[in-house]
Amino acid sequence: METRRVVVTGMGAITPLGNNVDTFWQGLKEGRNGIRPITKIDVSDSPVKLAGEVLGFDPRDYMDFKSAKRMELFSQYAVAATREAFLHSELDLSKEDPYRMGVIVGCGIGAMQKHEIEIPKFLSGAKTDPLYIPLVITNMASANIAIQFGLKGKNMDISTACATGTHCIGEAYNAIRLDEADVIVAGGTEAAITNSAIRGFSALKALSTTEDPDLASRPFDKDRDGFVLGEGAGILILEEYEHARKRNAKILAEIVGYGVTNDAYHITSPTPDGSGAGMAMRIAMRQAGLTPADIDYINAHGTSTHLNDLYETRAIKFAMGEKASKISINSTKSMTGHLLGGAGAIEAVVCLCTLSENFIHLTRNSACGEEELDLDYTFRKGKNRSVHCAMSNSLGFGGHNASLIFQAV
């Protein structure tokens, strides 16, 4: 079956480094730190003091007050990023068939803060908010985007933990390739800086406990001590190539490969030999008709946990072989923290910006690898490099692996 080409024509972002793509990307280029002392909850009795919080966000800047009241924060972030992405794409929605326009936007955890408010109520016999369920379920980011913009086509919420955003973009790519839609809003969102999330991840010994923001998220560094929670949303407008060309759209990049695997190994740890994530990379390259020599840059999952960074390095070596050392690699999470379901989506935005400007941002806070961490992780400073093909990797709890390849057009 002949498949169709898929391009990106718009992008939007709400992040700890800024609430639009330009501010976010400028912060990454400058090496600014979006990780700060937590202000949204009381962490006085918590060993975890830092997070990548979104600052200065007012949902009324993106939607009417009534709509905002009927959304939890993860949905608000997604709608806000979508508004920017549509403006960027210059799509005239009034001229489009709404049944050929879809939404595939996921969330890893959902509205944990609302659970924290409502569960004590019904345990004590107090009245529960009648909108409790429709506010918290993770599909509501995707649903609210459809409602706000009148998109009546394929609509899905994929929730695969930290691989959510990448899977959503990849499945949107597949849907357009197979003629299920002409335009799809794709990405991920998260707003999980909550007591329950911090306590839960702390119990897993997964979070950094340092109180120094400049030492908190150190992907691939020998002294890394865990990840930092972040929040926000990333959205791409995916469009069938001929559809975009006919309206003279500015094409940001083409998606040429998407690989998906599962480790089938452990509920939190990746496969030690890296074969699971490595196979996802190989599948993406095979679909794109590329070899390791064609990949210029990898935006790594790079969480700053001991096992993830080691096993992802092994995965890159598994997939790329002797070419692994020639590829520029970085971790956006060094400056934003880990956005969980939104991570892969904002990192896809980073890949597009990298292709546009041929600049690879540094992996902040990191300075020295260890015996097996010997690839080019872009420590100490960013660099100019010609980038024609960029890969984005995401690895999620449960063994979920996803890789996307973006190519300059």
Neighbour tally for 11: CB within 10 Å: 27
The token duo for 134 is: 């429709």
Question: Are the C-beta atoms of 371 and 220 separated by less than 8 Å?
Answer: no
101-107/253-262 β-pairing:
unpaired
Active site residue 162: yes
Helix runs in 247-360, H state only: 275-288, 306-320, 333-336, 343-357
* SS3 call for 105: strand
Q: Which residue is catalytic, options 107, 162, 353, 389?
A: 162
Active site residue 301: yes
Question: Are the C-beta atoms of 239 and 260 separated by less than 8 Å?
Answer: no
Find all residues with CB under 8 Å of 305, minimum gap 6, and list them. Answer: 206, 224, 226, 227
Q: What is the full DSSP assignment across 7-61?
A: EEEEEEEEBTTBSSHHHHHHHHHHT----EE--SS--TT-S--EEB---S--GGG
- How far lies 215's CA from each of 81, 210, 363, in Å? 29, 7, 12
* SS3 call for 232: strand
Active site residue 389: no
* Matching residue, tokens 């009034």: 94
Find all residues with CB under 8 Å of 328, minimum gap 6, and list them. Answer: 296, 297, 298, 360, 376, 378, 383, 385, 387
- 272 vs 274: CA distance, rounded Å: 5
User: Which residue(s) pair with 8 in the sheet?
Assistant: 238, 253
Phi, psi for residue 345 in degrees, rounded to 5 = -75, -45
- 99 vs 317: CA distance, rounded Å: 43
* SS3 call for 212: coil
User: How many angstroms separate the most distant Cα atoms in the chain?
Assistant: 63
Q: Which residue is catalytic, options 88, 243, 301, 400?
A: 301
Phi, psi for residue 308 in degrees, rounded to 5 = -60, -50
The token duo for 370 is: 């260890």
Q: Which residue is catalytic, options 88, 167, 338, 361?
A: 338
CA 24 to chain centre: 13
**Catalytic positions, please?**
162, 301, 338
